[in-house]
Amino acid sequence: MHPYSFFAPTPKGLESLLLAELSGLGAMEVKETRAGVSFSGPLNLAYRACLWSRLASRVLLPLNNFTAATPEALYAGVHALAWEDHLGPDDTLTVDFTTVQSQINHSHFGALKVKDAIVDRFREREGRRPSVARERPSVRINVYLYHDQATVYLDLSGESLHRRGYRAMPVAAPLKENTACALLLRAGWPEIARAGGTLLDPMCGGGTLLIEGALMAADIAPGLLRDYFGFQGWRGHDAALWSELIAEAQQRRADGLRQLTTLYGYDADPRAVQAARHNVAAAGLTPHILIEQHDVHALVAPPTDKPGLLAVNPPYGERLGETEALKPLYAELGAKLKEHFSGWRAAVLTGDPELGKGMGIRARKRYVLFNGALECKLLCFDVTPEWFITPRAAEDDLPLSPGAEMLANRLRKNLKSLGRWADKEQVRCYRLYDADLPEYAVAVDVYHGEKLWVHVQEYAAPASIDPKKAENRLRDALRAIPAALEIPPEQMFFKIRQRQKGSAQYQASDETGEFHEVREGPCRLLVNFTAYLDTGLFLDHRPVRTLIRELARGQEFLNLFAYTGSASVHAAAGGAAGTTSVDMSHTYLDWARRNMALNGFTGKQHRYLQADCVQWLAAQSALTNRQRYGLILLDPPTFSNSKRMEGSFDVQRDHVTFIRQAVALLAPGGTLLFSTNYRRFKLDATALADLQVADISRAMLPEDFARNPRIHQVWRIQAGKA
């Protein structure tokens, strides 16, 4: 039979491993491409890849490729395909659409166009059409549009192949299954297992490394537990062929389990131990994987006469305080390896290679792996004396350098002067230091809650500064700050403040993040030091929020670009009749709801709208029966071209239109507060001459930002010429 062509996407960095795996399964014409591998073979091979691939995310069957520079061309190209060969009018479907550097640049719009083309073809031919099902459709269609060239795929996997079906109890920040397999392959686990060695994970979390290691060592198909694949509802599905492959995999599993040695997992957290045991049981591996509660201090090699592999994905937080606090953990792990695991191999996946250096063992090999979107380093060790590093004095025990001591003195001086002001004004969160010394270009914000927390942001050094010198100064600063403020490192959080590339600027550095409560005047607010670049509370806008609280009594308050809703909280605290918070981000609106609820503001008069503020404001201002507001805060970003936004927004270019649209929503005598952090911004006063416009920037500059009077500009605007 003429072979099919297929494409298997995989996480970045795993392409070469996937190529070798597919070749081993019998794939022909195997070629590594961007973020995946193309290959060919019979249908049997695609089924085998779905069942046996430990690294692929999906297995896709290309149906056609055509130019689609316009929505009409996309519709026509999809409509021309013989979809009746793949599904019937009583079946269900869903469409995944990805667009890159193409004229059709909205994935949701593209997916709708593809869906319309398919169902219209059925309606025209049979008078009936398939329906859409998000979960477990009969057929999943994948369309990839790149430089206006569309490739239409049938997704034979149905849902990502990393979902094996054993994760009965999830844990925070789990290691993705195909990443775990890549780690084990890079570390040489298959060879160690064949030689009779065992696998140990001393910080096992939900047990992913151990389960994938057992499946690999026992020759168990990773897809054997799944009860759904995309090809099962496809008209081209060969059920008999699939049954044969399942029977073969079940026999191989039975044979492999008879040979499998015991694997070991430890964790200090009893909840992780419970989760790991549940997941191991769901995978049918309870007799073969021993999970116990131990911390690293009690770590010893398991009872085995052959060297094995210690594989671990230890914590590696994004914040500095967490990184500093983790140094002893890595040092302890290295010490236990040298003391109890001579002759073993070790594999450590870390987001911070500097932490790995503290283990006191040189890595034999290093690889780049991605844990989700986070780039990590896989450090592979041979635990033998020739790789051991002679310990040196711990950096934390050394005295501060003269420069660091100078910075510490400045921080103490600022704390004394600003502290008096903060106590007098009852300000609990403020900027303590803002690159006061040019050599130490960081911003230091203090937050008083149940503890004193410190949020540190480094201003990216210019290209003219020697990176090594900048790194040393930063290291000095990060030692000086907790010393000067007399706090433990874990109460300090560090970020680099610079323009992010691509989607990284919107990405959380910690998927959950921990919320802490602070007070601002009479208001209670939640901040998060780890999840995003900012904490959820812009400290320089404190006087603006105070003014809103003073003006809000009896007014309907509109908060545009509401962020985490702190201004809405102040308006409600000031006696606003109602509040409306508009933001494009579901995450921020949820945060706003939590902030409001924390202060007891939960009634129906407080509304939250997830919308593009640019489009929403234009639409509302054009209505004849539009809602009116007595007080509006308009604090737009400097620039935005979010993929969820039609077109782009530029505050300098668009501010006149935006202000006029907001003024159109004011009730008689109402007030608009317009604010921007764009330092080169110039208000077009001539174009707004028919309005009452007062520059209140100086009055809105807080004491802790007085060193930088251009931090933001604020205008108070009302309808009607003064």
Contacts of 62 (CB under 8 A, 6+ apart): 5, 6, 7, 151, 152, 153
Q: Is 217 within 8 Å of 190 (Cβ atoms)?
A: yes
Q: Is residue 286 part of a domain?
A: yes
Measuring CA to CA, which residue among 441, 566, 434, 587 is closest to residue 507? 587
- Claim to verify: residue 379 and residue 305 sit in the same structural domain: yes
Q: Is 115 within 8 Å of 167 (Cβ atoms)?
A: no
- Assess whether pLDDT exceeds 80 at residue 332: yes
- Claim to verify: residue 415 and residue 364 sit in the same structural domain: no
Q: What is the mean pLDDT of the segment spanning 261-288? A: 95
Contacts of 120 (CB under 8 A, 6+ apart): 79, 129
What does the block give as tokens for 696? 């209140």
Q: pLDDT digit string (tens) for 217-229?
A: 999 999 999 999 9
- Claim to verify: residue 567 and residue 696 sit in the same structural domain: yes
- Claim to verify: residue 360 and residue 402 sit in the same structural domain: no
DSSP 537-606: --GGGHHHHHHHHHH-TT-EEEEET-TT-HHHHHHHHTT-SEEEEEES-HHHHHHHHHHHHHTT--STTE
Which of 498, 533, 557 marks a domain boundary?
A: 498
pLDDT at 454: 94
Q: Is residue 172 part of a domain?
A: no
- Claim to verify: residue 183 and residue 317 sit in the same structural domain: yes
pLDDT at 557: 98
Q: Is 95 within 8 Å of 111 (Cβ atoms)?
A: yes
- Assess whether pLDDT exceeds 50 at residue 506: no
Q: Is 637 within 8 Å of 675 (Cβ atoms)?
A: no
Q: Is residue 327 part of a domain?
A: yes
Tell which wins on pLDDT, 645 or 302.
Answer: 302
- Assess whether pLDDT exceeds 70 at residue 390: no
Tell which wins on pLDDT, 323 or 354.
Answer: 354
Q: Is 691 within 8 Å of 720 (Cβ atoms)?
A: yes
CATH number at residue 203: 3.40.50.150
Q: Is residue 314 part of a domain?
A: yes
Q: Is 281 within 8 Å of 210 (Cβ atoms)?
A: no
Burial level of 543, CB count in 10 A (0-12/13-18/19+)?
middle
What does the block give as tokens for 34? 């961007």
What element of type H or E holds 608? strand 606-610
Q: What is the mean pLDDT of the segment spanning 642-657? A: 75
Q: Is 201 within 8 Å of 265 (Cβ atoms)?
A: yes
Q: pLDDT digit string (tens) for 54-85?
A: 999 999 999 999 999 999 999 999 999 999 99
CATH number at residue 41: 3.30.2130.30
Q: Give dist(CA 549, CA 564) in Å, integer.
A: 16
Sole residue written with tokens 């308006």: 571
Q: What is the mean pLDDT of the segment spanning 165-176? A: 81
- Claim to verify: residue 60 and residue 16 sit in the same structural domain: yes
Q: What is the mean pLDDT of the segment spanning 189-215? A: 97
- Claim to verify: residue 183 and residue 196 sit in the same structural domain: yes
Asked which of 238-252, 311-325, 434-448, 656-670 is least confident by mean pLDDT, the reply is 311-325
DSSP 381-400: EE-SGGGB------GGGSPP
CA distances, 169 to each of 276, 279, 333, 466 (Å): 8, 6, 27, 48
pLDDT at 497: 59
Contacts of 251 (CB under 8 A, 6+ apart): none
190: containing domain: 177-218+260-392
What's the number of CA atoms in the CB half-sphere (13 Å) around residue 49?
40
Q: pLDDT digit string (tens) for 546-563?
A: 999 999 999 999 999 999
Q: Is residue 508 part of a domain?
A: no
Looking at the chain, the whole-number percentage of residues with pLDDT higher than 90 is 76
Q: Is residue 677 part of a domain?
A: yes
What does the block give as tokens for 381? 């060790």
Q: Is residue 253 part of a domain?
A: no
Q: Give dist(CA 135, CA 30) in Å, integer.
A: 31
Q: pLDDT digit string (tens) for 291-303?
A: 999 999 999 999 8
Which of 442, 467, 498 marks a domain boundary?
A: 498
pLDDT at 7: 97
pLDDT at 391: 56
Measuring CA to CA, which residue among 668, 580, 564, 563 is closest to residue 617? 580
- Claim to verify: residue 677 and residue 541 sit in the same structural domain: yes
- Assess whether pLDDT exceeds 90 at residue 518: yes
How many of the other CB atoms lie within 10 Å of CB of 76? 13
| Number of compact structural domains in the chain | 4
Q: Give dist(CA 510, CA 529) in Å, integer.
A: 10
- Assess whether pLDDT exceeds 90 at residue 530: no
How many of the other CB atoms lie within 10 Å of CB of 316? 24
Looking at the chain, the whole-number percentage of residues with pLDDT higher than 70 is 93
Q: Give dist(CA 554, CA 667) in Å, integer.
A: 12
- Claim to verify: residue 603 and residue 694 sit in the same structural domain: yes
- Assess whether pLDDT exceeds 70 at residue 590: yes
Tell which wins on pLDDT, 389 or 203.
Answer: 203
Q: pLDDT digit string (tens) for 96-154?
A: 999 999 999 999 999 999 999 999 999 999 999 999 998 999 999 999 999 999 999 99
What does the block give as tokens for 239? 């059920």
- Claim to verify: residue 147 and residue 42 sit in the same structural domain: yes
B/e letters for 664-685, b = 16+ CB within 10 Å, e = fewer, are: ebbeeebbbbbbbbbeeeebee
Asked which of 100-114, 474-488, 665-679 is least confident by mean pLDDT, the reply is 474-488
At residue 445, what are phi and psi to the nearest 5 degrees? -110, 140
Which of 340, 362, 392 marks a domain boundary?
A: 392
Q: What is the mean pLDDT of the segment spanning 396-403? A: 76
Q: Give dist(CA 206, CA 280) in Å, integer.
A: 9
pLDDT at 489: 81
pLDDT at 448: 93
Residue 65's SS3 state is strand
Q: What is the mean pLDDT of the segment spanning 474-492? A: 88
- Assess whether pLDDT exceeds 60 at residue 512: no
- Assess whether pLDDT exceeds 70 at residue 505: no
- Assess whether pLDDT exceeds 70 at residue 396: no
- Assess whether pLDDT exceeds 70 at residue 317: no
Rg of the chain over Cα atoms, rounded to whole angstroms, equals 30
CA distances, 317 to each of 326, 350, 461 (Å): 9, 9, 23
pLDDT at 563: 95
- Claim to verify: residue 670 and residue 542 sit in the same structural domain: yes
Strand segments (E) across 309-451: 309-312, 345-350, 365-371, 374-382, 429-434, 442-448
Q: pLDDT digit string (tens) for 126-137?
A: 999 999 998 999
What does the block give as tokens for 286? 């309870």
pLDDT at 504: 35
Contacts of 53 (CB under 8 A, 6+ apart): 8, 18, 21, 22, 25, 59, 161, 222, 223
- Claim to verify: residue 603 and residue 706 sit in the same structural domain: yes
CATH number at residue 418: 3.30.750.80
Q: Is residue 673 part of a domain?
A: yes
